[in-house]
Amino acid sequence: MSLDHRHQRQLRYREVAAIQAFTDKLKATFPADAQTIPPDLIVFYPTVNADLDSLANGKLKPAAAVTKATALQASAQQASTAIQALSVARLISPDFTVTGTPTGKRNGGDIQAPGATQQQLLDAQFLMAEAFQTWQQMGVAFEAAAAVGGARQKALIEHAKQLNGLAGTEFDRGYRKVLTIRNTLGLTAPARQLPTAPGASP
């Protein structure tokens, strides 16, 4: 085995171990209020849109809505803070090169450069932390909707739902960066003990 080949294999072993460690720490920051849709989609706060509808039609009382909204705000803020606290620079060596970004169909490889892995995961970290900040804002709109009625409540409920969709998109963009790196390294989608979303295909 050539020295260069041995170095590449050792680098790949280190990348695999580090990405797995990063993923484990990332998963630990996620709120329990979530559902998985196989194979790898995670939906956070899956009942909030139904709760907003229940508030609108009077099935969910304002006091109960405030309780749900403030709990959601606390959960989202905690998750955002925990994600931001992950030290990508400490967990991911600057000599790691894998990105998961394809170079094209012809060679089936991925764009690589020293430090590229770290930058990809910093981008992912930013997007996921921002997503939970957006979910916190959704909780604020939910709480505000519980305090009013009529057209104002309807507008706040619609705003909260829009924030929910935006947050989901932000999180997916960030989490997908982690998954593409894992896939490139031959790692499976990270397991998580979450209930499967109703009606999801196996």
Q: How far is residue 132's CA from residue 74's CA, in Å, rounded to a whole number?
A: 10
pLDDT tens figures, 144-192: 999 999 999 999 999 999 999 999 999 999 999 999 999 989 887 665 4
Domain ranges of the chain: 3-184
The pLDDT value recorded for residue 40 is 85
Comparing 19-28, 110-119, 193-202, the range with the smallest average pLDDT is 193-202
The H helix count followed by the E strand count for the chain is 6, 2
The pLDDT value recorded for residue 103 is 58
Query: Would you say residue 37 has pLDDT above 80?
Result: yes
> What confidence category does residue 4 fall into, taking pLDDT thresholds of 50, 70 and 90?
low
The pLDDT value recorded for residue 67 is 98
> What confidence category does residue 134 fall into, taking pLDDT thresholds of 50, 70 and 90?
very high
Q: How far is residue 100's CA from residue 120's CA, in Å, rounded to a whole number?
A: 9
The pLDDT value recorded for residue 197 is 37
Token pair of 162 as six digits:
């829009």
Do 150 and 103 meet the contact criterion of CB atoms below 8 Å apart? no
The pLDDT value recorded for residue 6 is 75
Cα torsion through 118, 124, 126, 129, rounded to 10:
-130
The pLDDT value recorded for residue 112 is 72
> What confidence category does residue 38 fall into, taking pLDDT thresholds of 50, 70 and 90?
confident
> What confidence category does residue 202 fall into, taking pLDDT thresholds of 50, 70 and 90?
very low
pLDDT tens figures, 59-115: 999 999 999 999 999 999 999 999 999 999 999 999 888 887 765 544 445 667 667
